[in-house]
A and B are shown apart, each in its own frame.
Chain A
């Protein structure tokens, strides 16, 4: 997904706009998206509400995965209880029915457990997150601190580069740069301009 476009594909060019104000950032992202430019991704140190709509992202299907995991937990609990209490070694305790409401707590707990672990694992898989992974696609070290970054593919003719960088500046970017990828982690950054030095 992300790495491919940004880093792995050779000779791809990407323009980055770096912002320090989240409100201006959100407005600019919406404008760039409305213009039809291909936004690869955006980066921010905190969740900015509404940006997914501004970027045109679809709703995540993770809750569906969570529901399926919950159903697995539910079935697992019932099967386990039936197998242990009724099938493998039938146990009648206190003359209570073998199958009854006393099964509910364990069924509930296992459903919750499977849902929680399921959605967490699916989240890591979907984002390709794994322990120790090097965050190669960091554009700015401060993108986890106080800066927001928009990454736009510029190896196409959808939007004029000059117009795009102008749009980013006018939107409040403190820095705009273009990256050309030569290979994995082999790239060249050209700073188009920094705040107060607009050259576009």
Chain B
């Protein structure tokens, strides 16, 4: 039974029937790829090639091919790692937290946001893994494997180890959540399949789903439990990432505000990337009736809120440094804003704190091309945030004799651009072979069901 308020705007427009939903969402899977898909996929694949090349160079010649030095031991690698992990936060946030809050607008966007989460975490994992140098040896420090190197087993006091557990758990649980949500839709594609290959593969992955009410009943319970445990999981992951910094004694990192500040930043950047992708996807795939202006507006509000929270954290950091009376801490922050990396700091402030304030205006929240531009600004700003935190805090340490500048090499730039290739290649494949919108959930919120 539908109990929605009659005065609220419809979440799915166009007076769609249940069959319309199936037909329209299955269209990209059942039809041949469009020219725009082919062009986009080819471009993404080229960048993926760049990733393979630059990682091969790193493996062959070592970390010396990167611009890191003895003072700035974390540079673009960890900046990019935190950038991608942050992006990976929106998917599970939308699926889990918005499910617990019964926000039905999540239903049109949760599938693609979850996919984005999985691909972003894959991109993120590349950086710390390859930063370990010989990663096949590094595994012994990261995983509980019996070994004969140095101190045996693992150091459970280390936040870097917590990170290994947090991110691998986050990836696995997000994958389970995503796949469970996909099963009913895969079954729908299976039942419409006309070719032998499609029949076989969609049958394989649908696991015999028939839409039995008994199964749905359990499915709903499982979704709720997964949402319940994913909510603290999402919060824990970026909290732990922030502890990589906060538990150190480096001025600029050693702050207790980091966990909530990083979580807000992750949601901010995650929604930024969701907007970037969906503004294009809804246009190219003709999904304007499913991902409406109302959806974009809701996401813009989240971006504005979290952007302001992040901005507040930037200002609080400054205040705490001033109030602490610790001159190293004070210098770290003065140096951020006025030192040699001032441009990165002010890019961060402009993109993350000032730019999202335009979403106070309804026009800005409801104009897709403008939202797209702003979402790019948010992505850029959040990348700069991580760069500022990592590089500006490290490049001037306690002893001025260790002060250096850092700039990335072509290999580091190649790896970063290459991860976009990996991300978009996965996203293009996803949009071709799986339903981008959760059909079964969208069907449950249709007002016109006749």
CA distance A46 to B169 in the complex (A): 29
- B161 lies within 8 A of chain A by Cβ: yes
- Select B19's contact among A85, A102, A120, A146, beta carbons within 8 Å: A146
CB neighbours (8 Å) of B144 from chain A are 80, 84
Is A23 within 8 A of B440, CB to CB?
no
Is A84 within 8 A of B180, CB to CB?
no
Given A123-B222, A145-B19, also A135-B157 (CB < 8 A): no
Count B interface residues, CB 8 Å.
Answer: 68
Is A131 within 8 A of B204, CB to CB?
yes
CB neighbours (8 Å) of A113 from chain B are 169, 172-173
Given A62-B225, A103-B156, also A48-B213 (CB < 8 A): yes
| Binary interface encoding of chain A residues 45-57 relative to chain B, with 1 for a CB under 8 A from any of its CBs, else 0 | 1111111100101
B4 to chain A, nearest CB (A): 12
- Most chain A C-beta atoms within 10 Å of own C-beta, residue among B180, B188, B210, B215: B210
Is A132 within 8 A of B204, CB to CB?
yes
Count A interface residues, CB 8 Å.
Answer: 72
Is B165 within 8 A of A106, CB to CB?
yes
CB neighbours (8 Å) of B192 from chain A are 141, 145
Stretch at the interface among A8-16, A86-94, A161-169, A183-191: A86-94
Is B229 within 8 A of A112, CB to CB?
yes
Is B213 within 8 A of A131, CB to CB?
no
CA distance A135 to B109 in the complex (A): 29
Q: Which chain B residues numbered 182 to 240 have a C-beta less than 8 Å away from chain A? A: 183-184, 187-188, 190-192, 203-222, 225-226, 229-230, 232-233, 236, 240
CA distance A39 to B15 in the complex (A): 33
CA distance A142 to B17 in the complex (A): 13
Is A144 within 8 A of B187, CB to CB?
yes
CA distance A70 to B225 in the complex (A): 11
A51 to chain B, nearest CB (A): 5
- Select B22's contact among A2, A20, A109, A145, beta carbons within 8 Å: A145
| Binary interface encoding of chain A residues 4-35 relative to chain B, with 1 for a CB under 8 A from any of its CBs, else 0 | 00000000000000001111001000000000
CA distance A50 to B191 in the complex (A): 26
Is A135 within 8 A of B206, CB to CB?
yes
- B399 lies within 8 A of chain A by Cβ: no
Given A103-B156, A112-B169, A119-B226, also A47-B220 (CB < 8 A): yes
Is B191 within 8 A of A116, CB to CB?
no
- B56 lies within 8 A of chain A by Cβ: no
Is B217 within 8 A of A108, CB to CB?
no
Is B161 within 8 A of A46, CB to CB?
no
- Select B18's contact among A102, A126, A145, beta carbons within 8 Å: A145
Q: Which chain A residues numbered 126 to 163 have a C-beta less than 8 Å away from chain B? A: 126-135, 137-138, 141-146
- A173 lies within 8 A of chain B by Cβ: no
- Most chain B C-beta atoms within 10 Å of own C-beta, residue among A23, A43, A47, A81: A47
Is A137 within 8 A of B210, CB to CB?
yes
Given A84-B144, A105-B162, also A2-B212 (CB < 8 A): yes
Stretch at the interface among B260-268, B314-322, B362-370, B442-450: B442-450
B194 to chain A, nearest CB (A): 12
Is B157 within 8 A of A93, CB to CB?
yes
CA distance A28 to B188 in the complex (A): 24
Is B449 within 8 A of A21, CB to CB?
yes
CB neighbours (8 Å) of A105 from chain B are 159, 162, 165-166, 236, 240, 243
- Most chain A C-beta atoms within 10 Å of own C-beta, residue among B155, B203, B216, B243: B216
- A176 lies within 8 A of chain B by Cβ: no
**Which B residue's beta carbon lies closest to that of A100?**
B157
Is B156 within 8 A of A112, CB to CB?
no
Is B213 within 8 A of A119, CB to CB?
no
**Which B residue's beta carbon lies closest to that of A121?**
B176
CB neighbours (8 Å) of B444 from chain A are 46-49
- B7 lies within 8 A of chain A by Cβ: no
A101 to chain B, nearest CB (A): 10
CB neighbours (8 Å) of B449 from chain A are 21-23
Is B205 within 8 A of A131, CB to CB?
yes
| Binary interface encoding of chain B residues 13-26 relative to chain A, with 1 for a CB under 8 A from any of its CBs, else 0 | 00001110010000
CB neighbours (8 Å) of A50 from chain B are 1
CB neighbours (8 Å) of B152 from chain A are 84, 88-89, 91
CA distance A35 to B65 in the complex (A): 76
CB neighbours (8 Å) of A59 from chain B are 221
Is A119 within 8 A of B219, CB to CB?
no
Q: Which chain B residues numbered 421 to 450 have a C-beta less than 8 Å away from chain A? A: 439-441, 443-444, 449-450
Residues of B within 8 A of A (CB): 1-2, 17-19, 22, 144, 151-157, 159, 161-162, 165-166, 169, 172-173, 176-177, 180, 183-184, 187-188, 190-192, 203-222, 225-226, 229-230, 232-233, 236, 240, 243, 439-441, 443-444, 449-450
21 contacts between A and B (CB under 8 A): A21-B450, A26-B1, A66-B225, A70-B229, A84-B153, A84-B154, A93-B155, A94-B157, A106-B161, A112-B173, A113-B173, A116-B173, A116-B226, A123-B218, A127-B214, A128-B208, A129-B208, A130-B208, A135-B208, A143-B210, A146-B19
**Other A-B pairs beyond A23-B1, A70-B229, 12, CB < 8 Å:** A1-B214, A43-B210, A46-B440, A47-B219, A103-B156, A120-B176, A123-B219, A123-B222, A129-B208, A132-B204, A135-B203, A144-B210
